[in-house]
Structure 1
């Protein structure tokens, strides 16, 4: 009897203390993205970040009278935004290199290079990213000679904005151990050469491996620093999760080390880079999830073709502005088939970069072969980008139960030149989010940063308006492909969560899920479309804890 009363006393004593471990968030409006309860004014969650209840403020405060209060006033709360396709290591390294994004001429690029070079020790490589010849007056690929006069001795390696081409000067070319002259080409890549067969400084797709193997790799400490810079930039934009589309085993180790120290402010859904050591590690050790829940890897990222901007995307017919060129396969159909079969055998999700209609078709063929009679299972294999789709292949995405991982800002960045590349008929089936979604294909949205900005607000705006920052073209570029604000928000929340097998935990705000949310000064489902790109992020929360708060 004594033990019974002691237990009762302990339980009574524990009650009020336990309530203190509850936080009640109150806001003007909470968009839950949960169909059972689309809106609320209050949300309760425990110290671990698990959601306990949603509803009106009065009832939750009565239910948890000793709870902590988090009142965000007139702000709107939405589930944490998830970028379904980004590159955190590349974003982080871009902060440590010269930034060429937005440059409009070679002269502007040279000016930035000279400024950055002044900060480097003698003999150090000058690296950077972000150039786009489509934005220059001549709209032609550059050459090593464009860099040599200003930098005759310091080696330079500059990746194009899409990461599918690189530009080197002569000092960098001399550092490559292999003779680059002649007519030979690497598999899945192009070394651009002059009339005498000498490399002119531009390397496309797999040809970049020759330069990447020459440039000194960052050490472990630099890599971790780059990841931290990238993740802190991401949470400041309202991202609570990123699908890191293709990392090496070394990059996974860096993530693991940061996760062990509690230094991941957001959730990273990592994909092994290609059919290589990272996939082999997954096959040997099984699908990976860090105890913190902030890091996992259960996916392999494969590559079918190149990019449209550098004319490396594999097309079924010639480029409209480059007759005789149909792009290239980065991975051969045979190697793609072998990699997908291997991933299926290991229980690993497959996500394949496929931009051109020929690249997409090759991917569909490989998936159909690897999945066989199991195409209807809950495999959630993905096609990344799906930029130029042949009309007859859309039903195959549905039949194979695939996820379309698409990036709205690619359309608004590419629209000045995309029709010239594709012609008036093919362009109607380019960046076709509405056609894909209405066919019943699950849609996960992202940015492909640092090709584009990691800011998801720009993605919401592009998806809803199909206009650039100045509102052009009025009414939107091929406006039939627009999404509604709700559909776009869903693509960056539940859609991305589903693509990462995480919709049970995140993607919406519901009882039992994680308290990952963003506090916005404006309501993204109520403001005029033009204001979506300027929504103010007041705070970003992961597991109920602030990982970013605006000054």
Structure 2
């Protein structure tokens, strides 16, 4: 860890000045922030006082020096009693509507068997009387049998209403017979391109649908109106600020979601800053691109990127691989969007000056994404738009240097590694692990990593992500010594990926991502100093308060 011990005392003016009622001096704190340019040249600096003026950082440094430079009234001084201050966390890949929905639906994340998952569904159905029973979070890899669930187990207890349960990664769904019937899925139904209807030995649907096949059921679920969106987003906002998250890159929104965001921004009801990616599957995408980028004056809502899907996920064997799956020799995964369609999207999006954020998990998907970037840059340009690969989870070692050569940002989620460690090697075999979850390899070549969680696929708590990045272990300290520990980040790198480098990935590093003069005063107060605790305790940090533009949007109840 490199910490520059020289304290900052940078101010906007070289003369002593008075301040207005919108000024606060936070003192008696242990502060850390990355400063300077994003990437490997950024420096980690300490401070013990923070001056906020009109929602922005006026100065950081030594409390006595700042008091001498600024006449701060006693009522405007806040004693933080030695607590730790960090820049607000930016989650560079999450799904706001999905998180809000998850908070309002049955959550199967902790189910340890198919039977347990069904019981949770039954209990939820008894209290939720809507026309559908909706849930998310099941993961067969956490069950002793490690096999997909079946329609029969749901039908035994819930047969009067359709049930639809999305897998934890969002790339598979589990339905009961009522849902399959409404979707018209029978033994004769052909799997759609980029999707699969899982069948039993007799050719009958088992109830599990992969990737594009999920739409057969999801298209029958009653449409979600604007009020539903507002309620879900409000639930997500409240949850995230309690965890110290002040900014989110929302990975794929539709036109209605955008409309609701704009309403909330106009009404000043967005406690979390949102950098929203338009979904490439939105039918109105061409019109939305024609309308141009959106940036509100207070930087609460920014829209100037498009999310494209290439493949599925590793856990459901939908990630597109160059060679077959190690544990399924007849399967190379799925391409959710075909290469020709991806190229057409690139040619549509880039001329409008929008950034492309392309989902790619398998090594084949990553190679396709890089090939399309290279071809597009050579023909129509757009290299300067800071394009990203979302996940970059399994990359062929020959392709990793191409990220640097093409100036592609790697948007990666540390907790994916600790969640996948029990199955990734089964899926890939040892040889392909050389390019999997390869954070340090990317960092050493100078590639910017923007860190996120992919909530609600993973839990949104950013300190779970910091812990996973530094230790390559789960929160039970497994495996000992870390999983492929040579790819771990340092604590400084992990914090940078969740703050300054995440801001760079949205083109916002001039206003967000660090506590430097002139930037928005987005910061959090923690109960522990991450640089003073052992690495295995990093995930245990509790957020005491969250500030956005100098205003408290969350304060923990001290009772």
TM-score, normalised via structure 1 length: 0.94
> 1:290 maps to what in 2?
296
Change (3 A) 1:296 1:214: same
> 1:19 maps to what in 2?
20
> 1:6 maps to what in 2?
none
Question: Contact 2:307–2:358 at 8 Å: present in 1 too?
Answer: yes
> 2:4 maps to what in 1?
none
- CA deviation string 1:464-513 (max 9, x = no partner): 00111111111100110010001000000011000000000011111111
Deviation at 1:183, TM superposition (A): 6.0
Please show how residues 341-360 of structure 1 align to structure 2 within 5 Å: 341-360=347-366
Structure 2 alignment gaps of length 5 or more: 1-15, 37-42
> 2:30 maps to what in 1?
29
- CA deviation string 1:99-132 (max 9, x = no partner): 10111111111111111111122x7210100001
SS in 2 for 1:416: coil
d(CA) in 2 for partners of 1:497, 1:374: 26
Find 1:231's aligned residue among 232, 237, 240. 237
> 2:156 maps to what in 1?
149
Question: Contact 1:156–1:168 at 8 Å: present in 2 too?
Answer: yes
> 1:488 maps to what in 2?
494
> 1:330 maps to what in 2?
336
- CA deviation string 1:442-472 (max 9, x = no partner): 1100000000000000000000001111111
> 2:60 maps to what in 1?
54
> 1:87 maps to what in 2?
95
SS in 1 for 2:384: coil
- CA deviation string 1:182-207 (max 9, x = no partner): 26221111111234433221110011
> 1:251 maps to what in 2?
257
Structure 1 alignment gaps of length 5 or more: 1-14
> 1:135 maps to what in 2?
142
Matching of residue 97 in structure 1 with residue 97 in structure 2: no
Deviation at 1:179, TM superposition (A): 4.9
Matching of residue 423 in structure 1 with residue 429 in structure 2: yes
Pairs aligned (count):
534
Find 2:127's aligned residue among 116, 119, 122. 119
- Greater mean alpha carbon deviation, residues 134-143 or residues 314-323: 134-143
Change (3 A) 1:300 1:180: farther
Question: Contact 1:522–1:535 at 8 Å: present in 2 too?
Answer: yes
Deviation at 1:66, TM superposition (A): 3.2
> 1:439 maps to what in 2?
445
Deviation at 1:289, TM superposition (A): 1.4
Please show how residues 521-540 of structure 1 align to structure 2 within 5 Å: 521-540=527-546
SS in 1 for 2:48: strand
Question: Contact 1:44–1:53 at 8 Å: present in 2 too?
Answer: yes
SS in 2 for 1:95: helix
Question: Contact 2:34–2:496 at 8 Å: present in 1 too?
Answer: yes
Change (3 A) 1:126 1:138: same
d(CA) in 1 for partners of 2:401, 2:463: 31
Question: Contact 2:17–2:70 at 8 Å: present in 1 too?
Answer: no
SS in 2 for 1:139: coil
Change (3 A) 1:87 1:278: farther
Deviation at 1:219, TM superposition (A): 2.2
Question: Contact 2:134–2:164 at 8 Å: present in 1 too?
Answer: yes
Deviation at 1:135, TM superposition (A): 1.1
> 1:39 maps to what in 2?
46
SS in 1 for 2:357: strand
d(CA) in 1 for partners of 2:22, 2:389: 42
Find 2:474's aligned residue among 461, 468, 493. 468
SS in 2 for 1:159: strand
Change (3 A) 1:89 1:63: same
SS in 1 for 2:208: strand
> 1:321 maps to what in 2?
327
SS in 2 for 1:475: coil
- CA deviation string 1:181-235 (max 9, x = no partner): 3262211111112344332211100111111101112222121011010111011
Deviation at 1:428, TM superposition (A): 2.6
What value does the CA root-mean-square deviation take over the aligned residues?
1.7
d(CA) in 2 for partners of 1:518, 1:374: 42
Matching of residue 70 in structure 1 with residue 78 in structure 2: yes
> 2:167 maps to what in 1?
160
> 1:8 maps to what in 2?
none
Matching of residue 404 in structure 1 with residue 410 in structure 2: yes
Which protein is bigger by CA-based radius of gyration?
Answer: 1
Change (3 A) 1:37 1:84: closer
Deviation at 1:16, TM superposition (A): 8.6
